Amino acid sequence: MPEPESEISPLALSILQLLDERPMHPYELAATMRERHQDEFIRLNFGSLYHTVEVLERNRWIVPAEREKEGRRPERTIYRLTESGREVLVRVVGEILAHPRREYPHFAAGLMFMHHLAATSAAAHLRDRVVALKAKGEKLNGIMAELRAAGVSRLALIELEHKIAMLDAERRWVSNVEKEINDGRLEWNVGIDPDHEKLRRKHGSGTH
């Protein structure tokens, strides 16, 4: 039975779009993903790659095109994209662009529970994150510059551009929160804001 299209992973989409360019065997798929730095955005290892290839083949979205044998190496299967596979690729990418999806990033959980730390400790951890985000952004900017210099079009790197923009926005936001903690502007308690509670009681008592 075919996998639900809503459950198609970024790795599966990457395989489909590469096979839309030309038939490839799994090792070539992995090498191409790394060459294009797609492993910055998808979790890539050979175990998950081969499992995903099997799922896509089972759904008849990709099929073996030929088998390749080089010397004493094991025979490798070269896959090609089917028409139904391309239809799925186009449809799912369109849905992803059009509809925001609820995601559960680890950082949000850290923010949700950071009041369990001392304020100075939380601020120090956030400062470390700012440094890490800056380093990551600089690394990706370097990759972007190399690829652009090699003639890769902006459209082919648009996800990298988005990633850099999101890292920069997060870095600036985290830096501001860290400063608010250190300056005492972010009150270090949870629950109902004291001023809001006073206002609620005042309005409540006035209704009787």
Residues 65 and 138 in one domain: no
Residues 23 and 92 in one domain: yes
The predicted model gives 21-30 an average pLDDT of 95
The predicted model gives 85-96 an average pLDDT of 96
Question: Is 139 part of any domain?
Answer: yes
Number of domains in the chain: 2
Distance in angstroms (rounded) separating the CA atoms of residues 101 and 136: 25
12: tokens are 């599966």
Residues 89 and 136 in one domain: no
Residues 92 and 111 in one domain: no
**Contact yes or no for 137/171 (Cβ under 8 A):** yes
Distance in angstroms (rounded) separating the CA atoms of residues 6 and 94: 12
| pLDDT value of residue 1 | 45
| pLDDT value of residue 28 | 95
Question: Is 41 part of any domain?
Answer: yes
Of 10, 4, 6, 97, which Cα lies nearest the Cα of 52? Answer: 10
Residues 126 and 170 in one domain: yes
| pLDDT value of residue 190 | 85
Which residues does 143 contact at the CB level (< 8 Å), separation at least 6?
A: 37, 40, 160
Residue 62 has pLDDT above 50, yes or no: yes
Grouping H, G, I as helix, E, B as strand and the rest as coil, residue 36 is coil
Question: Is 90 part of any domain?
Answer: yes
Residues 128 and 79 in one domain: no
Question: Is 204 part of any domain?
Answer: no
Question: Is 66 part of any domain?
Answer: yes
Of 44, 35, 42, 39, which Cα lies nearest the Cα of 150? Answer: 35
Q: How many Å is the Cα radius of gyration of the chain?
A: 24
Residues 184 and 127 in one domain: yes
Residues 93 and 161 in one domain: no
For strands 62-68 and 76-81, give the pairing. antiparallel
Q: What is the pLDDT of residues 154-189, one digit of tens each?
A: 998 999 999 999 999 999 999 999 999 999 999 998
Last residue of some domain: 67, 98, 129? Answer: 98
Residues 111 and 93 in one domain: no
Question: Is 207 part of any domain?
Answer: no
Grouping H, G, I as helix, E, B as strand and the rest as coil, residue 56 is helix
Q: What is the CATH number of the domain that holds 61?
A: 1.10.10.10
Last residue of some domain: 79, 98, 117? Answer: 98
**Would you give the DSSP letter of residue 189?**
-
Question: Is 15 part of any domain?
Answer: yes
Last residue of some domain: 75, 98, 121? Answer: 98
**Residue 77: beta bridge partners?**
67
**Contact yes or no for 76/65 (Cβ under 8 A):** no
**Contact yes or no for 179/126 (Cβ under 8 A):** no
**Would you give the DSSP letter of residue 51?**
H
pLDDT-derived band at 67 (thresholds 50, 70, 90) equals confident
Q: What is the pLDDT of residues 97-111, one digit of tens each?
A: 999 988 878 999 999
Which residue range forms the structural domain that includes residue 131? Answer: 106-190
Express as a percent the part of the chain with pLDDT over 70.
Answer: 86
On the CB side of 144, CA atoms within 13 Å amount to: 17
Residues 117 and 86 in one domain: no
The predicted model gives 47-74 an average pLDDT of 86
Residues 117 and 164 in one domain: yes
| pLDDT value of residue 27 | 92
pLDDT-derived band at 32 (thresholds 50, 70, 90) equals very high
Question: Is 134 part of any domain?
Answer: yes
Ranges 2-16, 22-36, 174-188: which has the least confidence: 2-16
Residues 140 and 56 in one domain: no
Of 77, 79, 78, which Cα lies nearest the Cα of 61? Answer: 79
| pLDDT value of residue 10 | 93
User: Across the chain, what does the average pLDDT equal?
Assistant: 89
